[in-house]
């Protein structure tokens, strides 16, 4: 535990007040469409800020710095892959935006419901629900560990403070609150990460091996790069930003800018990670970022580190909680019981509270952020490959996607209990999912042959 100075406490308090105020402002004159999708009117800068900040969460930051501590700048392959992924996703997103305007999509699975029917829609909704819930829990665990390490609060108290803060502004302002707070948190991440890099990097001596892009084992390097590329196709929150954008031109520009800013964030946190690796030896990589802040930041400036991590936590946790709630209500509940938008918003607020409680309980049970991150990559890979297949393989059948998702999901679940959960864990999910597509394709051929023979 470290004793926070008055300046640290002031910085943290100002940050929390700003976030809560933005949530309150978002609730003023709120329409149902505004609460659910910000009136589908996001501009380039707003959309860029919310895309980047929602992806720069506690799980990513803590895990990435841990990998930089272990392997140096070769951990950047994930950010490089993600940047490529955004550029590739532009091609799909432009078509998705046009279709979402016609059909009034709200969730990722709305696309699958529309294109392939109920069975594929519900299965995709279930898989992405698990992905988003895991991502939300990762943010809670990461933020809680930071707060607990810096204040000495217990895990439950730290988790409670973070959960209550997020819940207050999210219940008040909905998607508009997510967007407005994301802008503030985007600026905080970029500016403060840069300042931290400057403060920590002074006097650092970097060895050539630390700035080599080949230090990671080849299998992990390929895995990071490929996962970065396919991740947008499993990012339900990114699909929502596509639906919420003002027009197709806005989507193209915001995704291009997001790719560039994502690389910048990777570079900034690489500098922070390298500085910690150079100056603090022999610490647990899982808490390298936290220990680096405690040991290396001057008195009075640890608050900068806390606000940077909290900005990453809040910007992602609120997004994933909102997206998880959206999936639960709009992909499941609303398809069995029709309700108007006004009642949906009311129900949405109650569901946010319930899901926050669920995430709270699971976070207490898990508490291991690295393992949870790698499990998340496995389930996300299942959904990402399904999204890519639906786009690139024009004649792919719903049954093929169903086989891929079901076998990929069950295979990933089995691997959690039978194989080590490491950086390469997602490879298992990819193999099972592709195998499922192959089996589904064979099943379709056999069914088609039987139909042609009149059997």
pLDDT at position 133 over 70:
yes
- Those residues whose C-beta lies under 8 Å from the C-beta of residue 138, and which sit 6 or more positions away, are 57, 58, 59, 369, 372, 373, 376
What fold is seen in the domain 6-369? Sodium/glucose cotransporter (1.20.1730)
Q: What are the tens digits of pLDDT across the range 84-130? A: 989 999 999 988 888 888 888 888 899 999 999 999 999 999 999 99
pLDDT at position 30 over 70:
no
Taking the C-alpha atoms of residue 201 and residue 146, their distance in angstroms, rounded to an integer, is 21
Average model confidence (pLDDT) across the chain: 83
Distances in Å between the alpha carbon of 80 and those of 26, 261, 305, 366, 434?
34, 11, 25, 30, 24
CB atoms within 10 A of CB 81: 20
pLDDT at position 454 over 70:
no
Pair of tokens at residue 158: 């730290």
pLDDT of residue 26: 66
Q: What are the tens digits of pLDDT across the range 242-266? A: 888 888 899 999 999 999 988 988 8
Q: How far is CA 174 from the centre of its chain?
A: 18
pLDDT band at 33 (very low <50, low <70, confident <90, very high): low
Pair of tokens at residue 382: 């299942």
Q: Is the distance from CB of 432 to CB of 412 less than 8 angstroms?
A: yes
pLDDT of residue 257: 92
pLDDT at position 397 over 80:
yes
pLDDT of residue 423: 73
Q: What are the tens digits of pLDDT across the range 365-390? A: 877 777 788 888 899 999 999 999 99
Segment 32-50 mean pLDDT:
70
pLDDT at position 45 over 70:
yes
pLDDT of residue 29: 58
Taking the C-alpha atoms of residue 96 and residue 360, their distance in angstroms, rounded to an integer, is 34
pTM assigned to the model: 0.83
pLDDT of residue 453: 65
pLDDT at position 439 over 80:
yes
Q: Is the distance from CB of 89 to CB of 251 less than 8 angstroms?
A: no
HEC letters along 310-323: HHHHHHHHHHHHHH
Q: What are the tens digits of pLDDT across the range 198-235? A: 777 777 777 766 677 777 777 778 887 888 889 899 98
- b/e burial code for range 409-427 (CB count within 10 A of at least 16 → b): bebbbebeeeeebebbbbb
Instruction: For tokens 């608050």, name the residue.
Output: 303
Q: Is the distance from CB of 180 to CB of 22 less than 8 angstroms?
A: yes
DSSP state of 245: B
pLDDT at position 28 over 70:
no
Residues counted in the chain = 455
pLDDT band at 452 (very low <50, low <70, confident <90, very high): low
Task: Quote the percentage of the chain above a pLDDT of 70.
Answer: 91
Q: Is the distance from CB of 72 to CB of 211 less than 8 angstroms?
A: yes
- Those residues whose C-beta lies under 8 Å from the C-beta of residue 377, and which sit 6 or more positions away, are 227, 425, 426, 429
Question: What is the rounded radius of gyration, in angstroms, for the C-alpha atoms of the chain?
Answer: 22
Task: Indicate left, alpha or beta for 3 from its phi (over 0: left) and psi (-120 to 50: alpha).
Answer: beta
DSSP state of 241: H
- Those residues whose C-beta lies under 8 Å from the C-beta of residue 44, and which sit 6 or more positions away, are 250, 253, 254, 257
For residues 294 and 120, the model is more confident at 120
Taking the C-alpha atoms of residue 311 and residue 288, their distance in angstroms, rounded to an integer, is 18
Q: What are the tens digits of pLDDT across the range 268-282? A: 888 888 888 888 888
pLDDT at position 37 over 60:
no
pLDDT of residue 32: 58
CA quadruple 337, 340, 345, 350: dihedral positive or negative?
negative
Phi, psi of 42 (to 5 degrees): -75, 135
Q: Is the distance from CB of 100 to CB of 238 less than 8 angstroms?
A: no
Segment 291-315 mean pLDDT:
74
Segment 150-173 mean pLDDT:
84
Segment 55-84 mean pLDDT:
82
SS3 state of residue 387: helix
DSSP string covering 258-318, please?
A: HHHHHHHHHHHHHHHHHHHHHH--S--GGGHHHHHHHHHSPTT-HHHHHHHHHHHHHHHHH
pLDDT at position 38 over 60:
no
Segment 358-368 mean pLDDT:
86
Pair of tokens at residue 324: 């998880």
pLDDT at position 1 over 60:
no
pLDDT of residue 19: 77
Distances in Å between the alpha carbon of 335 and those of 101, 227, 444?
19, 32, 28
Taking the C-alpha atoms of residue 320 and residue 326, their distance in angstroms, rounded to an integer, is 10
Q: Is the distance from CB of 273 to CB of 288 less than 8 angstroms?
A: yes
pLDDT of residue 209: 66
For residues 105 and 177, the model is more confident at 105
pLDDT of residue 196: 75
pLDDT of residue 179: 73
pLDDT at position 197 over 70:
yes
Segment 126-136 mean pLDDT:
92
């Amino acid at each position: 535990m470290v004793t926070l100075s008055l300046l640290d406490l002031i910085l943290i308090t100002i940050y929390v007040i700003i976030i809560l105020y933005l949530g309150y402002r978002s609730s003023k004159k709120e329409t149902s469409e505004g609460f659910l999708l910000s009136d589908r009117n996001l501009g380039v800068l707003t959309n860029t800020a919310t895309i980047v900040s929602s992806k720069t969460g506690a799980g990513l930051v803590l895990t990435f710095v841990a990998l930089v501590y272990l392997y140096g700048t070769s951990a950047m392959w994930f950010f490089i892959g993600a940047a490529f992924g955004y550029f590739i996703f532009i091609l799909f997103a432009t078509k998705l935006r046009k279709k979402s305007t016609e059909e009034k999509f709200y969730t990722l699975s709305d696309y699958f419901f529309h294109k392939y029917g109920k069975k594929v829609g519900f299965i995709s909704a279930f898989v992405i629900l698990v992905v988003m819930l895991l991502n939300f829990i990762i943010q809670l665990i990461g933020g809680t560990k930071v707060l607990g390490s810096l204040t000495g609060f217990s895990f439950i108290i730290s988790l409670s403070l973070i959960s209550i803060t997020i819940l207050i502004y999210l219940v008040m302002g909905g998607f508009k609150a997510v967007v407005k707070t994301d802008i503030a948190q985007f600026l905080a991440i970029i500016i403060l990460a840069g300042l931290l890099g400057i403060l920590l990097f002074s006097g650092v001596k970097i060895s050539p091996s630390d700035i080599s892009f080949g230090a990671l084992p080849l299998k992990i390097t390929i895995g990071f790069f490929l996962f970065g590329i396919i991740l947008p196709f499993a990012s339900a929150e990114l699909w929502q930003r596509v639906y919420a954008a003002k027009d197709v031109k806005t989507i193209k520009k915001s995704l291009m800018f997001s790719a560039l800013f994502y690389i910048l964030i990777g570079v900034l946190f690489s500098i922070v990670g390298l500085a910690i690796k150079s100056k603090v030896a022999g610490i647990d990589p899982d808490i390298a970022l936290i220990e680096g802040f405690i040991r290396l930041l001057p008195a009075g400036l640890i608050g900068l580190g806390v606000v940077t991590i909290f900005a990453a936590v809040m910007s992602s946790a609120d997004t994933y909680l909102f997206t998880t709630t959206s999936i639960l209500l709009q992909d499941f509940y609303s398809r069995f019981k029709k309700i108007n938008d006004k009642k949906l918003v009311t129900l949405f607020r109650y569901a946010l509270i319930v899901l926050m409680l669920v995430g709270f309980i699971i976070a207490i049970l898990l508490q291991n952020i690295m393992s949870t991150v790698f499990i998340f990559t496995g389930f996300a890979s299942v959904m990402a490959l399904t999204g890519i297949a639906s786009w690139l393989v024009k004649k792919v059948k719903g049954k093929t996607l169903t086989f891929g998702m079901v076998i990929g999901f069950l295979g990933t679940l089995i691997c959690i209990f039978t194989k080590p959960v490491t950086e390469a864990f997602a490879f298992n999910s990819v193999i099972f999912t592709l195998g499922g597509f192959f089996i589904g394709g064979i099943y379709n051929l056999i069914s088609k042959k039987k139909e042609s023979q009149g059997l």
